[in-house]
Structure formats: C-alpha cells, structure tokens
C-alpha cells in the first residue's frame, strides 16, 4: 500500500510540473515602432503643408513658418507626462529650441534629444542650443524635471530653429 501511495504521489507531482504548450503569437513592439517611424518619415516628407500639432504624446514637426521656424503647441498632463517632438533635419548646423509655457514659468524642460544614430544627450533647460552633426530624424523629449517639485501640467509652445554654420 505504501508503494502504491508513493508512486501515485510521484506521478501526480511529475504531471503537475509539465508545462502546457500554448501557441501564443506575440508581436515584438520593436517592429511596431520601426513601422511607425517609417510612417512618420513618409508623413514628414509627403505633407509639408500640414500644421505642426500634437497627436497623443507626440508632436510631428512637419512644416516651418515664414521665419523658417518649427512652431507647435503641446500640452502635458497626467496621461502624457512626456511629449516627444519628432522632426527631420536635412541641413547640418545648430539647433536652437525654446519652450514657452502659457503660464509664463513652470517646471518644464527639454529632458533629452535622441539623434538619428540613436545616441542621446540631455537634460537641458527650457532653452536648447546644440550642434547638429547628423542628417536624419531627431526626437526631443519634453517633460518636467524630476529633481524639482510641482510638475508642470498644461499647455506650452515649442519653437525650433535650425541655423546654418
């Protein structure tokens, strides 16, 4: 009887440890991001007449104004604590950026710039001046400084200018 119970328990324990084979298809988020980035490239190059506007947590800088500036309005809230400003640079030079909150002052800054080769630099303040040494798609990350109190939530205006050497 002892052997019967021991063998039954060992079979039961062994069967519980076997993993069930499930065929679950999981799409890699990296490929989705690449496809999304390709679509953004098409959007930037095909429709330069569109207004620069925020969609979700991203501002696509598609067109320049008469002063050769990229200008857009965005907003930070609890759902979107970071805003990604995407733009394409064809002419090398110096990038000058400025964030103007509607309230005048606030805990908001350029947190990071991501270069076309996927390297990054930052953090910066509300003003940004950085040399552009690569052609391609850039991403600016705007958010609040986590080292300071009172995160900024509200509307702001971002201005970008590419000055030649």
Q: According to the model, what pLDDT value does residue 106 have?
A: 85
Residue 20 confidence class, pLDDT cut points 50, 70, 90? low
Strands 82-89 and 58-60: parallel
Contact (Cβ atoms closer than 8 angstroms) between residue 89 and residue 162: yes
Across 4-13, 37-46, 131-140, 150-159, least confident range:
37-46
Q: According to the model, what pLDDT value does residue 25 have?
A: 55
Residues of the chain with pLDDT > 70: what percent? Answer: 76
Angle at 153 between CA 150 and CA 159, to 5 degrees: 115
Q: According to the model, what pLDDT value does residue 39 have?
A: 52
Name which of 87, 54, 47, 55 is nearest 69 in CA terms.
Answer: 87
Does residue 158 register a pLDDT over 70?
Answer: yes
What integer is the mean pLDDT of 136-163?
89
Instruction: Report, in angstroms and rounded to the nearest whole number, the Rg of the chain calculated over CA atoms.
Output: 25
Residue 44 confidence class, pLDDT cut points 50, 70, 90? very low
Sequence ranges of the domains in the chain: 51-165
Across 38-42, 57-61, 63-67, 119-123, least confident range:
38-42
Helix (H/G/I), strand (E/B), else coil: 108: coil
Q: According to the model, what pLDDT value does residue 120 have?
A: 92
Q: According to the model, what pLDDT value does residue 103 have?
A: 85
The rounded mean pLDDT for the chain is 80
Q: What CATH class does 51-165 carry?
A: mainly beta
What integer is the mean pLDDT of 119-125?
90
Q: Kindly report, residue by residue over 67-121, the tens digit of the pLDDT.
A: 888 899 999 988 888 999 999 988 899 999 999 999 888 889 999 999 999 999 9
């Amino acid at each position: 009887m002892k052997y019967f119970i021991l063998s039954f328990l060992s079979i039961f324990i062994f069967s519980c440890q076997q993993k069930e084979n499930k065929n679950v298809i999981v799409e890699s988020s990296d490929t989705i991001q690449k496809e999304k980035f390709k679509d953004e490239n098409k959007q930037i190059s095909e429709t330069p007449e569109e207004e620069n506007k925020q969609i979700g947590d991203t501002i696509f800088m598609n067109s320049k104004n008469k002063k050769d500036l990229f200008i857009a309005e965005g907003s930070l809230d609890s759902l979107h604590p970071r805003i990604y400003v995407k733009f394409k640079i064809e002419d090398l030079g110096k990038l000058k950026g400025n964030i103007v909150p509607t309230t005048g002052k606030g805990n908001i800054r350029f947190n990071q710039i991501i270069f076309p080769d996927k390297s990054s630099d930052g953090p910066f303040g509300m003003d940004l001046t950085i040399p552009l040494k690569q052609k391609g798609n850039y991403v600016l990350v705007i958010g609040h400084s986590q080292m300071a109190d009172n995160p900024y939530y509200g509307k702001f205006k971002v201005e970008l200018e590419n000055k030649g050497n």
